[in-house]
Copies of this chain bind each other. A is one copy, B any other.
Amino acid sequence: MHVAAQIVEQIVDPSDVGEGFAQVERGFELLGLFVFALSGALLAVRKGFEVVGVTSLALVTALGGGVLRDLALGDTPPIAFRDVWYLVVPLIAAAIVFVAYDVIDRHLHRSVLVFDAIGLGLFAVTGAIKSEAYGTTAVGAVVLAVVTATGGGILRDVLANDPPQLFQPDSRLYAIPAAAGATVIIVLLRNSVYSAVLAGLVAGGVCFARLAALRWGWRAPMPRPARPRS
């Protein structure tokens, strides 16, 4: 727990660390927020929502997972309301989609998926570390890590009145790599072999697994009745 608490201190107040790892990590996290916000805003435009809907879906998709995690851990107000960039970055993403929907949807579709996978890996890792620092069980930390990484997308679909993409049989692996990565992080932390480099490798592994699932069409297993029977 001690290791996790130290790491979280760096995440929560990265100004102390100067130009170190935490700043890099915060940069990646803001990048993750940016692409999550893009995906929310794009869905809102496709749904025919106006500017309030586009902004709301961008904010909810980007921040929903982290806010849910912070509420569950009792870290209030959530970081999204204390660090101004956590709101400004998604708002910029919403504004870009609002004025340049066509360009993004046509030409950057593939890039958005790549950045989304990066966000998935990073949020799974930071969610696991922060939950561990707040004294949850190991299983609880994995669940909250998955919530951090996927909660925004689920809230986006609920607000858009869609069934969550995450649960659909034609979706590719998304929550499963996040859960696996979070499990590795918890094992590392509890055995005191955690390091920033290893965390980066785990985040990269989650990201790679997601991209590989997209590339080669890996799907999550279905319950038995959905399989063809003789």
Selected interface stretch from A15-23, A27-35, A46-54: A46-54
Copies in the complex: 3
Q: Which residues of B contact A134 (CB under 8 A)?
A: 77
Q: A158-B158, A223-B98 are in contact. Are A131 and B81 (CB under 8 A)?
A: yes
Report the minimum CB–CB distance from A116 to chain B (whole Å). 16
In this assembly, does A2 line the interface, its C-beta being within 8 Å of a C-beta of chain B? no
Q: Are the CB atoms of A223 and B82 closer together than 8 Å?
A: no
Query: Pick the contact of A82 from B102, B137, B226 — CB < 8 Å?
Result: B137
Q: Which of A44, A102, A131, A143 has the most CB of B within 10 A?
A: A143
Q: Which residues of B contact A101 (CB under 8 A)?
A: 223-225
Q: Are the CB atoms of A135 and B225 closer together than 8 Å?
A: no
- Measured in the bound complex, the distance between the Cα atoms of B74 and A99 in whole Å is 36
Q: Which residues of B contact A50 (CB under 8 A)?
A: 167-169, 171, 219-223
Q: Which residues of B contact A144 (CB under 8 A)?
A: 81
In this assembly, does A10 line the interface, its C-beta being within 8 Å of a C-beta of chain B? no
- Measured in the bound complex, the distance between the Cα atoms of B55 and A174 in whole Å is 14
In this assembly, does A113 line the interface, its C-beta being within 8 Å of a C-beta of chain B? no
Q: Are the CB atoms of B74 and A220 closer together than 8 Å?
A: no
Q: Which residues of B contact A143 (CB under 8 A)?
A: 59, 81, 87
In this assembly, does A230 line the interface, its C-beta being within 8 Å of a C-beta of chain B? no
Q: Which of A52, A76, A88, A134 has the most CB of B within 10 A?
A: A52
Q: Are the CB atoms of A77 and B74 closer together than 8 Å?
A: yes
Chain A: residues with Cβ within 8 Å of the partner, total of 70
Q: Which residues of B contact A137 (CB under 8 A)?
A: 81-84, 87
In this assembly, does A160 line the interface, its C-beta being within 8 Å of a C-beta of chain B? yes
Q: A82-B135, A220-B51, A225-B102 are in contact. Are A67 and B72 (CB under 8 A)?
A: yes
- Measured in the bound complex, the distance between the Cα atoms of B87 and A168 in whole Å is 23
One digit per residue, 1 when the CB lies within 8 angstroms of any chain B CB and 0 when it does not, for chain A 102-131 equals: 100000000000000000000000000001
In this assembly, does A45 line the interface, its C-beta being within 8 Å of a C-beta of chain B? yes
Instruction: Report which A residues bind B (CB closer than 8 A).
Output: 44-45, 47-54, 56-57, 59, 67, 71-74, 76-78, 80-84, 87-88, 91, 97-102, 131, 134-141, 143-144, 154, 158-164, 166-169, 171, 174-176, 219-226
